[in-house]
Structure 1
Amino acid sequence: MLTTQRKKAILDALARDGQVLAGELSVEFGVSEDTVRRDLRELAAEGLLQRVHGGALPVSPALAPFEARRDIETAAKQRIARQAAMMIAPGQTAIIDGGTTSALLVKSLPADLRATIVTHSPSVATALAEHPCVEVILIGGRLYKHSIVAVGAAAMEGISRIHADWYFMGVTGVHPQAGLSTGDFEEAAIKRALAARAAETVVLASSSKLNAASRFVIGEISLAQTIVVEKDADREVIKQIKSAGVTVVRA
């Protein structure tokens, strides 16, 4: 089998099964594991998959710059955002992550909602500046430009002073086995810290993020109590997420 044929077969298997194992591929193709690993390295360098120990996972397409992501899956993100906004009750404190879906979430908050919103996203805070009844607490730090959020030691210090009812988390990858992931090491740490300060963590996941993975792990899939997905999200993936004890809400 030619290299191009192997690579196509690998990508086809990823699309079908959600993961591939180097050992199984070497047997299927009749080549060494070193040859398969070379194929995986080259595909990863092209941005076509995410290598993990023993094999590979589908790569998340949600790693484009913030401006580019605004126009991706907009209708689906709006439905997910509206569903999430309905979870916040009057008097509650909610942490809202950065990202394009989070930006839509704050726009969906009722004009008469009295609540406290904590965020490390300047864009989320700015979007709420004119809200008449929402108190906004902005956590500062070094700006991670991809998601337009604060990261680093100063952000961690601010996060440690919070107790919240909800944390609405943005991710770039949601995979039943590989868990929740994102494209930046520091941002992954910030997300773990925010989840630890909330009674319930809700992940906002449009279809491009399901069954995909990025380089840095936030935590196991069970770090979230709830994941909000599109109404037509893949049934098999949803079944696996539910089997981990996570509630799935379709929007």
Structure 2
Amino acid sequence: MLTQQRKQLILDTLRRDGRIVAADLSSSLGLSEDTIRRDLRALAARGLLQRVHGGALPASPAVANFAARSQLQMAGKQAIAAAAAAMVQPGQVLFIDGGTTCQQLALRLPHSLQATVVTHSPTIALALVEHPLVEVQLIGGRLFKHSVVAVGAAAIEAIRQVRADLYFMGVTGISATAGLSTGDMEEAHVKRALMAQAAETWVLASAEKLHAASPYVIAACNAATGLVVEPGTSDQQVAALTALGLALVRA
């Protein structure tokens, strides 16, 4: 089998099964695991998959820049945002992450809501300017332009001084085996700090992020409280995640 044929077969298998197990694929093709791993490395370098221990998962499309992500799966993100906004109670302290789904969430909070929002995202802060009863605490640090969020030691230290009722988390990948992940190491550190300071963490899980992975692990999936998923998400799509004990809110 030619190299290009092998690589196409790997991608076809990944689309069909949602994951690649290198040992199983090498056995079925009669090839060495070294050959399969070499192909996986080459495909990962092109951004076509994410290597994980023992094989590969689909690469998350949510690692595109902010402007591109703003146009990705917008109807699903808006539905998730509305469902998440309905979870908020007056008087609560909220962490709202950066990202396009969280931006939609901020815009959908009721204008009559009295609450405190702590965020490391200038985009989220600006979305709440017209909410007269929402106090906004903006966490500073180095601006990570890809996600338009503050990162670094200063941001983490400020987060550690707050105790929040809810944290609405944005991620680029959600996998029962690979955990919650994102495309930047510093951003992963900030998200872990936010999780540690929140009574509940709800992951805003648009369809393209389910069963995908990115290079930097935030935490195991069961470190979160639950997922907010798009309308029409099937039980089968989330079975491996709910089996870990995650609660589920359907938009």
More displaced stretch, 30-39 vs 91-100: 30-39
Q: Number of matched residues? A: 251
Q: Does 1:119 align with 2:133?
A: no
- The residue aligned with 1:165 is 165
Give 4+ residue runs of structure 1 displaced > 6 Å after superposition. Answer: none
* Superposed displacement of residue 17, structure 1: 2.1
Contact 2:79 2:231 in 1 (8 A): no
* Superposed displacement of residue 16, structure 1: 2.2
One-letter identity of the residue aligned with 1:184: D
Q: Given the two structures, how large is their TM-score scaled by the length of structure 1?
A: 0.98
Q: Does 1:8 align with 2:8?
A: yes
- The residue aligned with 1:93 is 93
- Relative to 1, partners in 2 of residues 1:63 and 1:28: Cα closer, same or farther, differing over 3 Å? same
Q: Does 1:58 align with 2:58?
A: yes
Structure 2, unmatched stretches of 5+, are none
* Superposed displacement of residue 5, structure 1: 2.0
More displaced stretch, 157-166 vs 225-234: 225-234
Q: Percent identity?
A: 60
- The residue aligned with 2:28 is 28
Distance 1:187 1:146 in 2: 10
Provide Cα deviations, 1:1-35, integer angstroms capped at 9, x if missing partner.
Answer: 22222212211221222221211111111111111
Contact 1:176 1:237 in 2 (8 A): no
- The residue aligned with 1:237 is 237
Q: Given the two structures, how large is their TM-score scaled by the length of structure 2?
A: 0.98
Structure 1, unmatched stretches of 5+, are none
Contact 2:111 2:130 in 1 (8 A): no
Q: Does 1:19 align with 2:19?
A: yes
Provide Cα deviations, 1:164-191, integer angstroms capped at 9, x if missing partner.
Answer: 0000000000111111000000100110
RMSD: 1.0
- The residue aligned with 2:225 is 225
- The residue aligned with 2:183 is 183
- The residue aligned with 1:153 is 153
Q: What SS does the aligned partner of 1:31 have?
A: coil
Contact 1:6 1:29 in 2 (8 A): no
Mapping for residues 182-201 of structure 1, pairs under 5 Å: 182-201=182-201
* Superposed displacement of residue 234, structure 1: 4.4
